[in-house]
C-alpha cells in the first residue's frame, strides 16, 4: 500500500460544513470526500486516472 502525503488545508467554516454534509450524504469520510472531489476535478480537466500515475518512482526513470 502506498503512503499518502499529508498537508494542512485551511478552509472557511462554511465550506468545511458543506463538505462535511456532502461526505455524510455519500457515506465517505471528510478526507475521502475531499480526495474524491480532487480526483474528479483532475479527471475532468486533465484526463487523470489512477493508472496514469506510476506507483514506483524508478519506473519513471526508465
pLDDT reading at 16 higher than 50: yes
Which helix or strand (DSSP H or E) is residue 23 part of?
Answer: helix 13-25
- Longest CA–CA span in the chain (Å) reads 46
* Predicted pLDDT of residue 37: 95
Is there a contact between 23 and 32 (Cβ–Cβ < 8 Å)? Answer: yes
User: Would you say the pTM of this structure is higher than 0.85?
Assistant: no
Q: Which long-range contacts link 13-17 to residues 24+ away (Cβ below 8 Å)?
A: none
Least confident of 10-14, 18-22, 37-41: 37-41
pLDDT tens digit sequence for 25-55: 999 999 999 999 998 998 888 877 766 655 4
* Predicted pLDDT of residue 1: 63
Locate the domains of the chain by residue range.
12-45
Angstrom distance (rounded) from CA 41 to CA 25: 19
* Predicted pLDDT of residue 13: 98
Q: Which residue has the cell 502506498?
A: 2
Amino acid at each position: 500500500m502506498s503512503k499518502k502525503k499529508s498537508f494542512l488545508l485551511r478552509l472557511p467554516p462554511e465550506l468545511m460544513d458543506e463538505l462535511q454534509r456532502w461526505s455524510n450524504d455519500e457515506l465517505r469520510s471528510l478526507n475521502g470526500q475531499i480526495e474524491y472531489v480532487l480526483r474528479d476535478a483532475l479527471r475532468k480537466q486533465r484526463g487523470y486516472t489512477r493508472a496514469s500515475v506510476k506507483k514506483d518512482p524508478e519506473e519513471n526513470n526508465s
